[in-house]
């Protein structure tokens, strides 16, 4: 195995089991390692500390998955995969759902591997050249471990491009005759389009939060902003919301949202569908003096990197301020951020600026994060990307 030697002092984060090594921490790459190769990681004195995937074109050239002075055992990847799957046993046993994340990258000691279960199918992403090399074997192992009807690759995201990988989508194993898969989540049914959907098809990370938010829906008019395929709408409508307004820029997602309402026998709820930009729609509602009893704000990642933090902060402040103004007395605001660069403390501060400018007081009722199928290692807090609050706006 080739070796990557770190600069003096830069071994500290490796010893704390942080999996990322940035280029400015690297002194020397011995043996001319190739993208995707597994390398040893040594401190400046040459002591081997760990092993990881090497990729010179990435801003994170080294992603560690194994700590110790010996190389990882040959069975490492199969074992890690098997453990990740067996750790989801409580979800597997839960008869009210059949869609969840089976493998969550670094948090499951498999950097760059995402595997999501959608009923009888698995959707997989390999997000760095090291994992990409293992893709075929991983598909075979998953067939052995889980026996799905099919495994699909959905490698079309921006992340891969930054790792020097080209897009690649299609069937890796088994088959898939339809593009739309029906899943169940907490007893609700959803159509998920794998090929045209966002991420791997559904925002699985919000499962617990949808339940939490829906507790407050009874008797309320709901604005579901950034609704995607209407998951929050279906939960809140089922728990007694009186009307829905769904807003999204994706027409396909809005159409699928309508199908999802029908799937859950919710065709009788008033459902206003707005194909548009939430930032503008909220302004129009403010100018028209429209009021809601409950608003859900679940925007896409507004900060794609730390550098975009202040622009993202202005975006979050803007939509939260507008939403607070649109809420009637004691209205409920469920607001989220999935930007890794904005942590829960910063997000809370942004909300306080919004409240001040909106002239409203806020009571925080719940603090939310991603579900337990998206675990966060204590040594890798970067995995905690989703945060949200349920607030009463008084």
Residues that are catalytic: 338
Task: State the Cα–Cα distance between residues 292 and 223, nearest whole angstrom.
Answer: 7
Task: State the Cα–Cα distance between residues 219 and 252, nearest whole angstrom.
Answer: 29
Report the C-alpha dihedral over residues 191, 192, 197, 200, rounded to 10 degrees.
Answer: 160
Task: State the Cα–Cα distance between residues 386 and 37, nearest whole angstrom.
Answer: 31
Binding of ligand SAH by 226 (CB under 6 A): yes
Residue with tokens 């429209």: 290
- CB-nearer residue toward ligand SAH: 42 or 368: 368
- CB-nearer residue toward ligand SAH: 10 or 211: 211
Binding of ligand SAH by 249 (CB under 6 A): yes
- Closest CB 54 distance from ligand SAH, rounded Å: 33
- Contact characters 147-176, ligand SAH, x per CB under 6 A: ------------------------------
**Which residues in the 173-202 window bind ligand SAH by CB under 6 A?**
198
Residues linked to residue 333 through DSSP beta bridges, in sequence order: 295, 391
Binding residues for ligand SAH, rule CB under 6 A, total 20
- CB-nearer residue toward ligand SAH: 116 or 248: 248
The backbone torsions φ and ψ at residue 5, rounded to the nearest 5 degrees and listed phi first, read -100, 135
Binding of ligand SAH by 232 (CB under 6 A): yes
- CB-nearer residue toward ligand SAH: 67 or 216: 216
- Contact characters 288-327, ligand SAH, x per CB under 6 A: ----------xxx---------------------------
Binding of ligand SAH by 250 (CB under 6 A): yes
Task: State the Cα–Cα distance between residues 314 and 340, nearest whole angstrom.
Answer: 16
Task: State the Cα–Cα distance between residues 373 and 202, nearest whole angstrom.
Answer: 14
- Closest CB 82 distance from ligand SAH, rounded Å: 30
- Closest CB 209 distance from ligand SAH, rounded Å: 8
Residue with tokens 């595997």: 115
Which region among 31-39, 145-153, 272-280, 366-374 touches ligand SAH (by CB under 6 A)?
A: 272-280
Q: Are 298 and 232 within 8 A, CB to CB?
A: yes
- Contact characters 332-351, ligand SAH, x per CB under 6 A: --------------------
Residues across the chain: 394
Binding of ligand SAH by 277 (CB under 6 A): yes
- CB-nearer residue toward ligand SAH: 100 or 203: 203
- CB-nearer residue toward ligand SAH: 115 or 204: 204
**Which residues in the 84-103 window bind ligand SAH by CB under 6 A?**
none
Binding of ligand SAH by 109 (CB under 6 A): no
Binding of ligand SAH by 253 (CB under 6 A): yes
Residue environment code for 224-257, b if the CB has 16+ CB neighbours within 10 A, otherwise e: bbbbbbbbbbbbbbbeebbebbbbbebeebbbbb
Helix extents (H) in the chain: 12-15, 76-86, 89-93, 129-146, 158-162, 207-214, 231-238, 251-263, 278-287, 309-326, 344-358
Q: What radius of gyration, in Å, describes the C-alpha atoms of the chain?
A: 22
Task: State the Cα–Cα distance between residues 264 and 246, nearest whole angstrom.
Answer: 16
Given candidates 41, 114, 278, 323, which one binds ligand SAH under the rule CB under 6 A?
A: 278
- Closest CB 228 distance from ligand SAH, rounded Å: 3
Report the C-alpha dihedral over residues 43, 48, 51, 55, rounded to 10 degrees.
Answer: 40
Residue 142: other Cβ atoms inside 10 A: 24
- Closest CB 12 distance from ligand SAH, rounded Å: 37
Binding of ligand SAH by 235 (CB under 6 A): no
* Contact residues: ligand SAH, CB under 6 A: 198, 203, 206, 226-229, 231-232, 247-250, 253, 277-279, 298-300
């Amino acid at each position: 195995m080739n070796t990557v030697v770190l600069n003096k002092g830069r071994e500290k984060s490796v010893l704390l089991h942080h999996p990322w090594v940035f280029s400015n921490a690297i002194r020397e790459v011995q043996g001319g390692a190739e993208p995707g190769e597994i390398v040893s990681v040594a401190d400046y004195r040459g002591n081997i500390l760990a092993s990881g995937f090497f990729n010179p074109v990435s801003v994170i050239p080294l992603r560690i998955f194994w700590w110790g002075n010996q190389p990882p055992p040959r069975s490492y990847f199969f074992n890690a995969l098997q453990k990740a799957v067996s750790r989801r046993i409580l979800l597997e046993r839960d008869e009210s759902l059949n869609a969840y994340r089976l493998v969550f990258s670094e948090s499951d000691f498999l950097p760059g591997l995402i595997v999501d279960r959608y009923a009888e199918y698995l959707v997989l992403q390999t997000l760095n050249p090291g994992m990409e090399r293992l893709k075929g074997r991983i598909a075979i192992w998953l067939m052995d471990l889980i026996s799905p009807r099919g495994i699909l690759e959905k490698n079309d995201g921006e992340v891969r491009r930054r790792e020097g990988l080209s897009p690649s989508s299609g069937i890796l194993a088994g088959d898939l005759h339809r593009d739309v898969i029906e899943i169940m989540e907490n007893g609700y049914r959803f159509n998920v389009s794998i090929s045209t959907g966002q991420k791997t098809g559904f925002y699985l990370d919000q499962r617990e939060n949808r339940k939490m938010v829906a507790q407050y829906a009874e008797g309320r008019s709901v604005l579901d902003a950034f609704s995607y395929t209407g998951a929050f709408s279906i939960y809140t409508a089922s728990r007694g919301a009186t009307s829905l307004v769904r807003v999204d820029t994706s027409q396909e997602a809005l159409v699928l949202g309508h199908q999802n309402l029908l799937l859950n026998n919710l065709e009788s709820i008033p459902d206003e569908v707005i194909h548009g930009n939430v930032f503008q729609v909220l302004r129009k509602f403010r100018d028209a003096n429209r009021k809601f009893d409950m608003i859900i704000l679940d925007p896409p990642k507004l900060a794609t990197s730390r550098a975009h933090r202040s622009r993202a902060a202005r975006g979050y402040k803007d939509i939260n301020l507008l939403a607070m103004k649109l809420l009637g007395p004691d209205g409920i605001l469920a607001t989220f951020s999935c930007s890794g660069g904005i942590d829960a403390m910063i997000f809370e501060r942004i909300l306080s600026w919004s409240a001040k400018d909106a002239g409203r007081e806020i009571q925080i009722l719940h603090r939310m994060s991603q579900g337990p199928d998206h675990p966060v290692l204590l040594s890798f807090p970067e995995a905690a990307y989703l945060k949200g609050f349920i607030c009463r706006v008084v």
